Amino acid sequence: MLKMNQSVKMIVTLVVIAVVVAAALAGVNILTKDKIAQNDESKLQNSLKEVLPADTYEVLKKTDEFTVYQAVKNDEQIGYCVQNSVSGYGGAIQMLVGMDKEFKVTKITILSHGETPGLGANATKDNFKKQFEGKQAGDLRVDKNSSGETKIKAISGATITSTAVTDAVNAAKKCVEEATK
């Protein structure tokens, strides 16, 4: 009999805690989910405007692997923004690539990454990213020593990260081709 009472007390306590906890979480979720969605949306809009300034961005194609946006400015289609991801040194690197209609890169930004601080993480610095601006996406290659019309100079000590970012920019062109075929 005593064992039964003990078991019941344990079960009841845990169930009550679980119910109260679930209610509290549901409550806070309701209070914050709109703000969180808003934050995510404005973060995306800010990133899109950063890589290719325009008035609006229409989703042309969205898959699990990539999203292609068409940038429209003054009612004219001026280019594409591609959000894709690539395997870096420390996991997936989420990229946003802005290109004009001829696949010339306008600007790139790295949305998230798990690269090593001080090495691959320096891919987010302007002096690396600027190399892509004005170059044709699709045939870019990484070079350890110099940059050029189709060459991207790798970050010293972070060749894998540099190659991954370059691959993502090249892949962005393929994503647009797939979205517009």
Partner 1 sequence: MSKLYNLTKGLLKENPVLVLLLGMCPSLATTTSVINGLGMGLSAMAVLVCSNAVISALRKLIPGKVRIAAYIVIIATFVTIVEMLLKAFVPSLAESLGVFIPLIVVNCIILARAEAFASKNTVWQSVLDGIGMGLGFTLALVIIASVREILGAGTWCGLSVTPQSYQNNPALMFILPSGGFLTLGLVLGAINLIKSKGGKKHD
15 contributes a contact to partner 1 by CB under 8 A? no
Specify the residue, 116 or 147, whose C-beta has the smaller distance to partner 1.
116
21 contributes a contact to partner 1 by CB under 8 A? yes
Residue 72 neighbours by CB distance under 10 Å:
15
- Show the tokens assigned to 45: 């809009």
125 contributes a contact to partner 1 by CB under 8 A? no
Q: Which of 3, 4, 35, 144 binds partner 1 (CB under 8 A)?
A: 35
Piece in contact with partner 1 (CB under 8 A), picked from 11-19, 94-102, 124-132, 172-180: 11-19
Query: Residue for token digits 């075929």?
Result: 181
Task: Report the candidate in 109, 111, 94, 90 with the shortest Cα–Cα distance to residue 160.
Answer: 90
Piece in contact with partner 1 (CB under 8 A), picked from 31-39, 50-58, 81-89, 170-178: 31-39
Task: Report the candidate in 178, 164, 176 with the shortest Cα–Cα distance to residue 77.
Answer: 176
Q: Which of 49, 104, 119, 151 binds partner 1 (CB under 8 A)?
A: 119
Site for partner 1 in 60-79 (CB under 8 A): none
Burial bucket for residue 20 (CB in 10 Å: 0-12, 13-18, 19+) = exposed
What does the alpha-carbon distance between residue 65 and residue 80 come to, in Å, rounded to a whole number? Answer: 16
H or E element in which residue 159 lies: helix 159-180
24 contributes a contact to partner 1 by CB under 8 A? yes
Q: Minimum Å distance from CB 63 to partner 1? A: 24
What DSSP designation does 41 have? H
Residue type, 117: P
Site residues (CB under 8 A) for partner 1? 6, 9-10, 13-14, 17-18, 21, 24-25, 28-29, 32-33, 35-36, 39, 43, 112, 116-119
